Amino acid sequence: METNEKTNLYLVGYMGTGKTTVGKLLAKKMHRSFIDMDEFIESRYRKTIAAIFEEKGEIDFREIEHRSLQEVSAFEKVVVSTGGGLPCFFDNMDLLNRTGITIYLRASANELVDRLTVDMQKRPLVKGKNTEELRDFVETSLKKRELFYNQAQLIFDVCHCSSKKKMEQWIDELFIHIKNKIVTNEN
């Protein structure tokens, strides 16, 4: 695949859509480095995202996240999994679109509730919520965040893959869309 070597790929979408999983698979397929923004921040601050949220609050966390994105956006030829809220603050979505190809991994509120129920305790914004509170939170916040997510250059519905083979096929399909977008951007 011939691509612009400087083209970054940014995966955006709600928590639980599989941005990290998909990002790792795409990076491997495209022979690129992978960066998970949450892990990048955790390594810089030597604290978990949950600890940063608890210590500093969401507003300060979003500033940390923005500064980290500015740093990462200067990299070349990387696949980046963003935090679910990252595109919704400051000029982050504009920055993502200027410095790479953005891909919104879209899922319905019902699908997200099912996915998030499994590991709610690891996610600061939904930790401690019961199923009904989680559903209300996801529906309300997804509606607000989609204003930003829908600014992505590619929108791709998340895979309901039950096997490794189906996941690989889904990644292949996504890869073709990315390749076409890169070619279009170069012309």
For 80, the enclosing helix (H) or strand (E) is strand 78-81
Q: How far apart are CA 25 and CA 23, in angstroms?
A: 5
Alpha carbons within 13 A on the beta-carbon side of 154? 23
How many CB atoms lie under 10 A from the CB of residue 74?
Answer: 9
CATH annotation of 8-169: 3.40.50.300
- With contact defined as beta carbons under 8 Å apart, do 38 and 83 qualify? yes
Q: Which residue type, as a one-letter code, is found at position 124? A: P
- Spell out the domain ranges in the chain: 8-169
pLDDT in tens, the chain (187 residues): 334 545 899 999 999 999 999 999 999 999 999 999 999 999 999 999 999 999 999 999 999 999 999 999 999 999 999 999 999 999 999 999 999 999 999 999 999 999 898 877 778 888 889 999 999 999 999 999 999 999 999 999 997 776 778 888 889 999 998 988 887 777 6
10 bridge partner residues: 80, 102
How many CB atoms lie under 10 A from the CB of residue 85?
Answer: 19
